[in-house]
Structure 1
Amino acid sequence: MGTRADLIKLRGVSAVGYHGVLDFERRDGQPFVVDAVLHCDFAEAAAGDDLTKTASYAEIAERITQIVSGEPVSLIETLAVRIANAILGEFAAVDAAEVTVHKPQAPIAVPFDDVAVTVFRER
């Protein structure tokens, strides 16, 4: 199928998760923030003004928070892939997904603003 020029962008979808390598991360949890850029084709949805012909950003945001607050993983890379794969598997209108997972309270010993990973997956 390939990517499309039409994009849905979700920024700052937040949830508490228990991801990380260290014991206290799994025990105490911390906030994770997800940005998703979804490649779609809006032609049919726009022609009929029909939500069922596109991807519901509300449903996708809810799904992202379910995954973030769900089963813990060690790496945010794994979390990002898990989210991208779920979006592609569950929302047929999405041809490709770029997912960024931010871990703003990562256990880093020096001052920092954010740490994030980004994955891109397509059908």
Structure 2
Amino acid sequence: MDRITLHGIEVWAHHGIRPDERRSGQPFVVDVTVDLDLSAAAVSDDLSDTVDYATVASDVAAAAAGGPYHLLESVAGRILDAVLGHRRVAAAEVTVNKPHAPLPVPAAGVSVTLRRTREP
């Protein structure tokens, strides 16, 4: 299976457990990898033989900005639903990064990664 990866999609959203996170919002960064057959596109050089990654990026940003949700797991699940809505995508992996997570120790953030395969 072939892959397309979108790196570092930046979104401002209001996700989190704490009321201040949900009220003020904060940045989230999303990485998405989609698995699909790219053999026809490699030969034809035709966008209709692949998935339009600009459209995927817009769908990812819209799903990530939705909610608000308490858990990163929920955010990642909504993004996966959006990505798997593209008929050519056989499987997808989504990582949602929360760079300013309220942690009790110094850290660069936290992330959650989910992977799903399209149901037959």
RMSD: 0.9
Matched, 1:108 2:103: yes
After TM superposition, the score normalised by the length of structure 1 is 0.92
Partner residue of 1:120 out of 91, 103, 115: 115
Distance apart, 1:114 and its partner CA: 2.1
- Matched with 1:80 is 76
CA distance in 2, matches of 1:62, 1:48: 25
2:22 partner SS: helix
Secondary structure of 2:5's counterpart equals strand
**2:24 alignment partner in structure 1:** 28
For residues 55-110 of structure 1, the C-alpha deviation after alignment (integer angstroms, 9 at most, x for no partner) is 11111111111112222111000110110111102x11111000000001011121
1:92 paired residue number:
87
Report % sequence identity.
46
Residues of 2 paired with 1:28 and 1:19: CA distance? Answer: 10
3-state SS, counterpart of residue 117 of structure 1: strand
Gaps of 5+ in 1: none
Native 8 Å contact 2:13 2:65 kept in 1: yes
- SS state at 2:42 partner: helix
Which residue of structure 1 aligns with residue 39 of structure 2?
43
Report the TM-score, using the length of structure 2 for normalisation: 0.94
Q: CA deviation at 1:52?
A: 1.2
Q: Distance in 2 between matches of 1:40 and 1:14?
A: 24
The one-letter code sitting in structure 1 at the alignment partner of 2:114 is: V
Is 1:60 aligned to residue 38 of structure 2? no
